[in-house]
Amino acid sequence: MKRVGFLLKVRKEVIPEYKEWHRKVWPDMLDALRRHGWRNYSLFMREDGLMFGYVEVEESFQASLDGMADEEVNQRWQEMMAPYFEIPEGARPDQSMIELEEVFHTD
């Protein structure tokens, strides 16, 4: 199991709506995440929309992202979520996650 941290930035003016979508994530999206090794997945957000994500993956973050890329439900979710993020036009949020280097961990 590999621990992964990543950053994304949500546009400040849409933070409430973004949070609302995440209170009701589609069950088939959650099933797809589990199928591709996303475990203990959490999102944390600052007031300005800077978001830190944490997930534990089976192989690697890239392998888990690659598995999700083939999921139709993920394609729909990413298209719906793209306008919420400060990312290049035409980019998908899951292609814009900046993986962080783990420098310390304690159990």
pLDDT at 103 over 90: yes
- Asked if residues 32 and 25 have their Cβ atoms less than 8 Å apart, the reply is no
For the question of residue 22 being annotated catalytic, the response is yes
Helix (H, G, I), strand (E, B) or coil at 19: helix
| Distance separating alpha carbons of residues 41 and 60, to the nearest angstrom | 14
Q: Which domain holds residue 65?
A: 2-100
Give a yes or no: residue 106 inside a domain. Answer: no
Taking residues 82-107, report their average pLDDT.
90
Whichever domain contains 19, its CATH number is 3.30.70.100
Residues 44-56: pLDDT tens digits? 999 999 999 999 9
Catalytic position from the list 22, 34, 35, 46: 22
Give a yes or no: residue 32 inside a domain. Answer: yes
pTM given for the model: 0.89
Per DSSP bridges, beta strands 39-45 and 98-100 are unpaired
